[in-house]
Amino acid sequence: MRQDHLVAAGQLSRADVERLLDRAAEFDAALDAGGDLPASYPEKLLALCFYEPSTRTKMSFEAAMKRLGGDVVDMGGVDASSVKKGESLADTVRVIEGYADGLVLRHPREGAAKMAAEFVDAPVINAGDGAGHHPSQTLLDLYTIRESAGLDDLTIGIVGDLKYGRTVHSLATALTEFDARMHFVSPESLRLPRSVRFDLHEAGAQVREHTELEEVLPELDVLYVTRIQRERFPDEDEYQKVAGEYRIDAETLDAARDDLTVMHPLPRVDEIAPEIDDTEHADYFEQAHNGVPVRMALLDLLFQNHE
């Protein structure tokens, strides 16, 4: 991987992904064993620049940096920063680059991370740009899939908000590097954006779109469930029309294979019933935990590129 920044999953080749996931497995094993880590960066500082709320992404990047022996500096909430005074994103990241060795940026505007990367030399990691991309989430998703079902000869169903779901856009892009059959299940109003469908078809992906999960559930190795994102809807009435459209419960999974893996990038609202949590299908909490070793691997490789 010879990338200076990570702003979109499309930057990563199959070889890049496999190298990152192999490195993550090394960190994962070391963390489990309580032994020495494969790499350490006690002199490094990572800046967390989150213009939108986050629990898992922000905390796992902080945990990853501290597990690597480094530390973090946090911009804090937008309301308590110079953004409130009208400072541009370009100026903010140029200032913060002087304080840290890398930046993790979450921003409500699509393309924000790509733009920020044009103004700084320190590595920029896109932690979500509106309804655009979320590549580090994709890496931990791929790690989880590889551990449970493998990444080749894979049949995956992706359910829910496909229009605004940046985790969906990034994951689907990354899966074009592997032998994956993708089934997208959503209301008509939340189908994949035309631009994403075009890119997937151009990449030779096997893409099928559905409105009913029952059509494909028995075929699936992995069911990737997403939340209907209320905050992305320009109109509350439009959100109410599709809220609760899909709900995965024990009855739903009666038709699934015994070895089906159920994933979710979290947070969930009501799209997966709590009764699923204690079944063999549930892998979403392990998926969240995988964020630490995967992001350790990502930071390790990006820091290596900047030495």
Tokens matching residue 67: 């597990």
What's the sign of the alpha-carbon dihedral 99, 104, 106, 111? positive
Measured distance CA(68)–CA(43) in Å, rounded: 10
* DSSP secondary structure letter of residue 243: T
CA distance 184 to 159: 6
Beta-bridge partner residues of 156: 182, 222
Contact 156, 181 (CB under 8 A): yes
Q: Please report which residue ranges of the chain form alpha helices under DSSP H.
A: 14-33, 56-67, 89-97, 112-117, 135-148, 166-175, 194-202, 236-242, 284-289, 291-305
Contact call for residues 67 and 296 (beta carbons, < 8 A): yes
- What number of other Cβ atoms are within 10 A of residue 61's Cβ? 27
Smallest CA-to-CA distance from 159 within 208, 215, 227, 261 is with 227
Q: Name the residues annotated as catalytic.
A: 56-57, 85, 106, 134
Please give the DSSP secondary-structure letter assigned to residue 226: -
At 296, list the tokens.
Answer: 């350790």
Cα–Cα distance between 51 and 74 in angstroms, integer? 11
